[in-house]
Structure 1
Amino acid sequence: MRPERRINARPRRVVLGATMAAALSGCEGVQSVLSPASDDARMVADLAWWMFATATFIFVVTMGLLITGVALRHKREARRISFRNATVMVVIGGVIAPIAAIVAVSLSGVMIGDEVEGDAGSSGPVIEVHGKRWWWEFRYLDRDGRVIATTANELHLPVGQRATLRLMSDNVIHSFWAPNLQGKTDLVPGKVNTLYAEPDVAGRWRGQCAEFCGLQHGLMGFVVQADAPQDFDRWLQAQAAGAVVREGRGLQVFMDLGCGECHAIRGTAADGQKGPDLTHLASRRTLAAATIPNSRGNLGGWITSPQDIKPGALMPAFAPPSDDLDALLTYLEALE
């Protein structure tokens, strides 16, 4: 069976990728600062509303002064406004009000910034967030700092536990932004930044790289899944295990094509580190950094024509015989 070709024309493929990403976020949770799912995000949302109210206040004052000035100038029987009254209006409306608004917003931002950072909780997981070109890698650490599980483009968190996210990059500057959970924090090469996330409800939301990082910046998304602590523990235990299927024709095709040089499947000879870990690929809902849903047709299209889905992606295209491709897809679909 030949893979499903998702997009044919270059202008259409970019639009479809963005549309698919928006559809994913819309179906499983609104990607919005104004739809908070944690106390940290709630404070950011409050600040956003406060800034909107402040901007509205300044706009109303400014327009009021403008209308007053125009009315006084065109009213025939009105007396000329005194210099003292004009000065008072300008000072209050043009100086004091804007300065007060700026100071209030600045102080609120600083206070919220300190509170959002907070202290790391002892009960939450510690996760390394690696910004790649152009996808995300999440490494879950044990108490000794050893990696116990690795996922790509899907961040799982327990509800009610404060997770510590260590943000790092070995290429360019990225920015980790999950607006429903936290504010933006940059991933700077050579530096480790720390961010905390504590969802208070179960759900699924979309995140995004918020710093221009190259050709695929617009399609460098990820998904956040928050579950009850017991469900998260079961998920993490399953992710820490090796591949469910460790042999077969599909794996042989995978190795013959050279996929194991870039991708790892734990428990097999595939140990590449350049691309996403595929040990539990079938358990993920999306492909290509949350650009398209994880289906057999999309997976086949991604293998044979990655540039049709993400122009500029570093993954090369492969064109195996149809029987080999079917065996490869069947194998990858079994990696749950």
Structure 2
Amino acid sequence: MACAWTVLLLAGCSASAPSTLEPAGPGARRVEGLWWLLFWISLVVYVIVMAVLVVALLRRRRRGPVNRGDATRFVVVAGVVLPFLVLTSVYLVGLRDMDALSQPEADRASDVEVTVVGHQWWWEVRYPGSGAVTANEVHIPVGVDVRLDLTTADVLHSFWVPELMPKTDMISGRTNTTWLHADRPGTYRGHCAEYCGLQHGNMAFHVVAQPRAEFDAWLARAARPAPEPDTAAERRGLAVFEQTGCAACHTIRGTSADGTVGPDLTTIGSRWSIGAGAAPNTPGDLGGWVVDPRTIKPGNLMPPQPVPAQELPDLIAYLRSLK
């Protein structure tokens, strides 16, 4: 039993688990600094308490006379004055960091703005002014502060990228603002940090930080309509998509599909996962998702699709071509 608990505890320390203690931007570095400050204060307090306990036990064995005046002064200093000074100092440091995290630095601000909408259970990502829309991925340029406007289409969610920024709640009827800054290119995993229902555990996303030239190329590509199908299989797949219930709930820009219930699928072929981290974006998993997504992500709103077995490979080929 002890071994099992040890394995469970260490699972959260794996190299693949994102951590604020491995910051990749100034926002997470402030949180890391506050974490270490609290850690060392707690350690010092623990050592002092243990030392006082040992001294008290030794004095009790000697049963010497007790100086009540000294005891009262010790309780006042150690139990009132010192905790007041420590807690006040930590509070002021926390206020300083909260103020710094509330808005980006003026000399680092970017012209890029992103709107993120939380859904049960996926993330809608829009780039106002460009027409680019994607899902479960936030692309940003490296080295600048990117503003994010956050809201929700249903219940309370919370947007959190541990290596870049602390969490920000997404509240119905209200738009909250945060910003992301990545010091170096990379892919940073984020997650919903507020319990939002049955599939809260499968509501992940990636922040992809790219050099500015690569980001601009990605944004231009993501803003364009879907490319025309290249092969006969892809053309048949587009026809299947438009003739089934898929087009009623999803949009593929440049086609007749203009549904707004589910994610925009214009770039689905390049996305890292299916169902906000529920399954990898492979042909087999994508086919299983289309046929019956609730076997992969129970409780999600997408119903099974009655796509004939002989037409499913064509549909998958078309969706995989959308990049």
Regarding TM over 0.5, the answer is: yes
C-alpha separation between the residues in 1 aligned to 2:20 and 2:278? Answer: 21
C-alpha separation in 2, matches of 1:66 and 1:310: 53
Alpha-carbon distance in 1 for matches of 2:153, 2:272: 26
Deviation readout 1:186-244 (Å, 9 max, x if unpaired): 11111111111111111111101111111111211111110101110000010001111
Distance in 2 separating the partners of 1:231 and 1:118:
26
Distance change in 2, residues 1:105/1:325 (3 Å): same
Aligned partners of 2:18 and 2:163 also within 8 Å: yes
Is the 8 Å Cα contact of residues 267 and 322 (structure 2) preserved in structure 1? yes
| Higher relative contact order, structure no. (Cα contacts within 8 Å, ≥ 6 residues apart) | 1
Instruction: Write the mapping of 1:247-266 to structure 2, written as runs, cut at 5 A.
Output: 248-266=235-253
Distance 1:80 1:240 in 2: 82
Q: Is 1:65–1:93's contact at 8 Å kept on the other side of the alignment?
A: no
State the partner residue of 2:273: 286
Partner of 2:86: 101
In the alignment, the residues of structure 1 paired with residue 322 and residue 164 of structure 2 have an alpha-carbon distance, to the nearest angstrom, of: 29
Q: State the one-letter code of the partner of 1:137.
A: E
Q: Identify the range of structure 1 (155-164 vs 101-110) with the bigger mean alpha-carbon deviation.
A: 101-110
Distance 1:60 1:225 in 2: 43
Offset at residue 319 of structure 1 (A): 4.2
- What corresponds to 1:151 in structure 2? 134
**Is the 2:226–2:267 contact (alpha carbons within 8 Å) kept by the matching residues of 1?**
yes
Provide the C-alpha distance between the structure 2 equivalents of 1:131 and 1:286, rounded to a whole number of angstroms. 17
Whole-angstrom CA distance in 2 between matches of 1:254 and 1:189? 32
3-state secondary structure, aligned to 2:310: helix
The answer to whether the aligner puts 1:81 opposite 2:66 as a matched pair is: yes
Number of residue pairs the alignment of both structures matches: 308
TM-aligned CA distance change 1:233 to 1:97, over 3 Å: same
Indicate conservation of the 8 Å contact 1:207/1:222, yes or no: yes
1:131-146 map, 5 Å: 131-142=118-129
Partner in structure 2 of residue 34 of structure 1? 21
The SS at the match of 1:323 is coil
Give the match for residue 209 of structure 1.
Answer: 192
Deviations 1:278-326 (A, max 9, x none): 0010111111112322111111121223222212111112242221111
CA deviation profile, 1:17-38 (whole Å, cap 9, x unmatched): xx9xx99x977x6411111111
- For the residues of structure 2 that align with 1:274 and 1:283, how far apart are their CA atoms? 21
Per-residue CA deviations over 1:229-288 (Å, capped at 9, x if unaligned) read: 111000001000111135721112112321111110000000011111100101111111
Query: Structure 1 CA distance, aligned partners of 2:264 and 2:14?
Result: 27
Distance across 2 between alignment mates of 1:272 and 1:319: 18
Listed as ranges, the matches of 1:5-44 within 5 Å are: 30-44=17-31
Q: Which amino acid aligns with 1:81?
A: V
Letter in 1 for 2:35: A
Gaps of 5+ in 1: 1-18
Tell whether the 8 Å contact from 1:58 to 1:98 is kept in structure 2 after alignment: no
Matches within 5 A, 1:1-336: 30-73=17-60, 75-76=61-62, 78-119=63-104, 122-142=109-129, 147-245=130-228, 248-336=235-323
Per the TM alignment, residue 103 of structure 1 is displaced from its structure 2 partner at its CA by 1.4
Contact 2:245-2:305 at 8 Å conserved across structures: no
1:161 CA displacement: 1.6
What is the distance in 1 between the residues matched to 2:280 and 2:32? 29
Shift of residue 40, structure 1, vs aligned partner: 1.3
Q: Identity of paired residues, percent?
A: 42
Corresponding letter in the other structure for 2:307: P
CA distance in 2, matches of 1:266, 1:235: 16
Residues 89 and 308 (structure 1), Cα distance of their counterparts in 2 relative to 1, 3 Å cut: farther
Q: Is the 8 A contact 2:121 2:200 kept in 1?
A: yes
Question: Which residue identity is paired with 1:34?
Answer: L
Distance in 2 (CA, whole Å) between partners of 1:305 and 1:54 is 52
Secondary structure at the aligned position of 2:111 is classed as coil
Q: In structure 2, how many angstroms separate the alpha carbons of the residues matched to 1:200 and 1:254?
A: 41
Instruction: State the alpha-carbon separation in 2 of the partners of residues 162 and 69 from structure 1.
Output: 54
In the superposition, the TM-score normalised over structure 1's length comes to: 0.86
Give the partner amino acid of 1:282: G
Is contact 2:103-2:178 (8 Å) kept?
Answer: no
Distance 1:66 1:311 in 2: 53
> Which residue type is aligned with residue 214 of structure 1?
G
In the superposition, the TM-score normalised over structure 2's length comes to 0.89
